[in-house]
Structure 1
Amino acid sequence: MKIALISGTSGMVGMQLLHQLLKSPEYSFVLSVGRRKLALKHDKLIQIEGDMSKILEWDWEDKVKSQTLGGEYHSFVEAIHAKSAEIHAFSSIGTTIKVAGSQEKFYAIDHDLVISFAAWVKKLGARKFLYVSAMGSDSTSSIFYNRVKGETEEDLKAFKFDYVGLFRPSLLLGNRHEFRLGEQVASIVMKPMVWLKLFKNIRPIYDHQVAKAMVKTALDSKDQQADIITSGQMQDLSK
């Protein structure tokens, strides 16, 4: 049995990732965690909600059991306790400084929530962790955004999962919930690169391409401490 644990499903990549996981016959259950539940039902989808900054204190079993009256998630709970399932974790948690309100709040989301989720899934027995980072991530960067993404990558490596996939997409194309003027302008300017198939590692990439590449990598990857997947590689994997 394979189980997927996912955070960040309300975001652009997260929604596409959830869709890919649910339609994959490889995964028996998909557990989504977040501040709130999505208006979505599926036979193998389990959703639990709460304060993500306190996820390590959650009684996840009670939260899961409260989702059902017929005991259809009993095999999920038993597989976690018996460590009989292969567990893959996926995180696409992320925001912007503008939306977060400050650099401190941005760091609390893009770094702290990701690391808390990683610590939680490690306790549950996850072997693989796949994370949506960003092109230019560098823990020594003078650019705050890139530095936070880089620090998050480095801290994820410290958990020593059997496999850590660090996905670094370029400018993302897709349907966002919020309007971002800078990204809208950049996508218009750079979209011809997509049409002409130029500069694969820097041209924009669609959210569904990132999601497909993550699921494919999770299912195909061998044990490797840390693996950086570029935007160009994601486009190849999603074909």
Structure 2
Amino acid sequence: MNGNNLISKKVAIAGASGLVGHYLLEGLIKDESVSEIHAYCRKDLKIKHPKIIVHLVDFNNLPTFPIIDELYLAIGTTKKQAGNQENYRAIDFTVNLNIAQKAISSGVKSIALVSALGADAKSKIFYNRLKGELEDALIKLAPEKLLIVRPSFLLGNRIVLGQKERFSEKLVENLYKIFKFLFPINLKPIKAKSVADFILSELQNTKKNRIVLSSEIQKFEKI
């Protein structure tokens, strides 16, 4: 990330314990232009650093946010973890929207969201529809800059991060190793670190609402 545009930048992140969130946090720590990282979590983070200020919160009853320049949203769950669609919506939609609303009330100018391939508010598939509804809700909040990325299946070692492997990700990864020549670029699995690196590089270059497909991140990965 280019640190020349803004000195002593204060940022917030939600979902730092997740796969993409972990790499976002690592990148923000290394960014010399970032002076404070406000991490909003349900439990403490394994990563410790003087820049990081951990806020252990109830996401349904968030405190007032400090003044921040950028917000990174990487919170998400799985069908298995959520148990039902109501819980799924409460996490993937309501929590993300609540955080964004609080951040905008505190003056945030730039927001980055890790969405998903196929996000569409009109989709008949619940997961895709939920992601699309969240995207639309954030667009209506009208931050100065909104970067939405829609990565394909994520590659990364969740076990090292203390997370459980996701069957669907592992299945696609193994299939890709055998049939990679059959995968369209937009469906190719992508490294979680590449997604995070793209977000950190491109948020400052984003104008108003920008939605980025996995294929564009794949091209960035090769540069």
Q: What is the TM-score normalised by the length of structure 1?
A: 0.83
Partner of 1:71: none
Separation in structure 1 between the aligned mates of residue 150 and residue 45 of structure 2, nearest angstrom: 26
Distance 1:237 1:25 in 2: 22
Partner of 1:106: 88
Partner of 1:29 in structure 2?
A: 36
Q: Which residue of 2 aligns with 1:17?
A: 24
CA deviations on 1:42-74 (whole Å, 9 max, x unpaired) are: 12111111101111xx2556xxxxxxxxxxxxx
Structure 2 residue 110 is the aligned partner of structure 1 residue 128 = yes
Whole-Å separation in 1 of the counterparts to 2:52 and 2:28 = 9
Q: Which amino acid aligns with 2:99?
A: F
Is it true that 1:115 corresponds to 2:105 in the alignment? Answer: no
Residue number in structure 2 paired with 1:68: none
Distance of aligned partners of 1:32 and 1:38 in 2 relative to their CA distance in 1, 3 Å threshold? same
Partner of residue 159 from structure 1, selected from 141, 146, 153: 141
Distance in 1 between residues matched to 2:182 and 2:145, nearest whole Å: 30
**Which region of structure 1 is more displaced relative to structure 2, 98-107 or 36-45?**
36-45
Whether the aligned pair in 2 keeps the contact of 1:213 and 1:235 (CA below 8 Å) is no
Question: For residues 148-171 of structure 1, what are the alpha-carbon distances to aligned partners after superposition, in whole Å with 9 as ceiling and x for unaligned?
Answer: 000000000011001111100001
User: Matched residues in 2 for 1:32 and 1:6: separation?
Assistant: 5
Equivalent residue letter for 2:219: D
- CA–CA distance in 2 between the matches of 1:190 and 1:107? 30
- Tell me by how many angstroms 1:200 deviates: 2.4
CA separation in 2, counterparts of 1:115 and 1:134?
Answer: 16
| Contact 1:139/1:150, CA 8 A, preserved across alignment | yes
SS of the residue 1:201 aligns to? helix
1:95-137 per-position Cα deviation (integer Å, ceiling 9, x unaligned): 1111111110000000000000100111121101100000000
Aligned AA (1:140):
K
Q: Quick one: structure 1 residues 203 and 45, their matched pair in 2 at CA, closer, same or farther if it must change by over 3 Å?
A: same
Q: Give the conservation status (yes or no) of the 8 Å contact 2:64–2:106.
A: no
Q: Is the 8 A contact 1:191 1:204 kept in 2?
A: no
Map Cα deviations across residues 179-220 of structure 1 (whole Å, 9 max, x no partner).
Answer: 3223211110023576x6963221000000000001001233
Q: Residue 220 of structure 1: which of 186, 205, 214 is its match?
A: 205
Which residue pairs with 1:91 in the alignment? Answer: 73
Q: Distance in 1 between matches of 2:83 and 2:176?
A: 28
**Matched position secondary structure for 2:143:** coil
Give the fraction of aligned pairs with identical amino acids, expressed as a percent: 33
2:5 corresponds in structure 1 to none
Change (3 A) 1:203 1:159: same
Q: Output the CA distance in 2 between the equivalents of 1:45 and 1:114.
A: 20
**Structure 1 SS opposite 2:44:** coil
Aligned length: 211
Query: Is 1:39 aligned with 2:46?
Result: yes
Q: Which has the larger radius of gyration?
A: 1
Structure 1 residues 193 and 125: CA distance shift in structure 2, 3 A: farther
Inter-partner Cα distance in structure 2 for 1:197 and 1:130: 31
Query: Any gaps of 5 or more consecutive residues in structure 1?
Result: 62-79
1:181 maps to 2:181? no
Counterpart pick for 1:206 among 187, 191, 194: 191
Sort the Cα spacing of 1:114 and 1:106 in 2 relative to 1 into closer, same or farther, 3 A.
same
Q: Distance in 1 between matches of 2:197 and 2:145?
A: 18
SS of structure 2 residue aligned to 1:158 = helix
